[in-house]
Amino acid sequence: MALRAREKKLLLLAGIAVAILVFDQLYYTPQSRKIARLKEEIKALEGKMEEQRLLRTSLEALESEIARLEKETKGIESLTLGKEGLKNFLTHLARESDRLPMKIVSLSPEGEKPQADSEKEESLPYKRVRLRLVLHSPFHSLAAYVRSIEELSFFVRLSDFQVEREERIAPLLKATLRVTVYVWEPGTKESR
């Protein structure tokens, strides 16, 4: 039985269809799945690379912020007193009162700080020292005394200044000063 031309064409088309189907099932579909998997891996790697880039930029920003804060801390350290500096400050107060015609009646530390303040300050590398001074002095000497405190090379905060005239010490004035200084404590973990 001889095949006719039409049957030959049909067999050829069927062979081509089978060849395409075999090609699709054995080569094209596995390759397209492999390409899709590789595209997903590339997207995942690009996501990781973007995450790494963001981490790197935030790390660089963090390092620059740390460097800025260290410089700022060094600036603050220069404005604060060391433990020896507190003794020198108290000596300065006494020496200035001797130089001027005035008398330090009392020099005492201030009372307890509020609880919220003390919790916040525990983590800081410095300690706040509050002093209360009571002086008997003429007005012009008092102004010179406050000016000498103001001219010190470290941060001194005069938080209260009260002047009263009392008959029992006339012609002198009674002055009450509340002074805050900061003492640098290099033993804390933040200052290392």
Residue spans of the domains in the chain: they are: 1-78, 83-191
Q: Return the pLDDT at 23.
A: 92
Residues of the chain with pLDDT under 50: 115-116, 188-192
H-type helices in 24-110, by residue range? 29-79, 83-99
Q: Return the pLDDT at 111.
A: 59
State in Å, rounded, how far the first CA of the chain is from the last one: 101
Residues 6+ apart with CB under 8 A from 178: 110, 130, 131, 132, 133, 158, 159, 160, 161
Q: Return the pLDDT at 60.
A: 94
Specify the CATH superfamily of domain 83-191.
Ribosomal protein S6/Translation elongation factor EF1B (3.30.70.60)
- C-alpha 90/C-alpha 97 separation (Å) is 11
Q: β-strands 156-165, 103-109: how paired?
A: unpaired
pTM of the complete model: 0.51
**What is the tens place of the pLDDT at every residue in 95-124?**
888 888 888 888 888 755 554 455 555 566
Contact between residue 134 and residue 176 where contact means Cβ atoms under 8 Å apart: yes
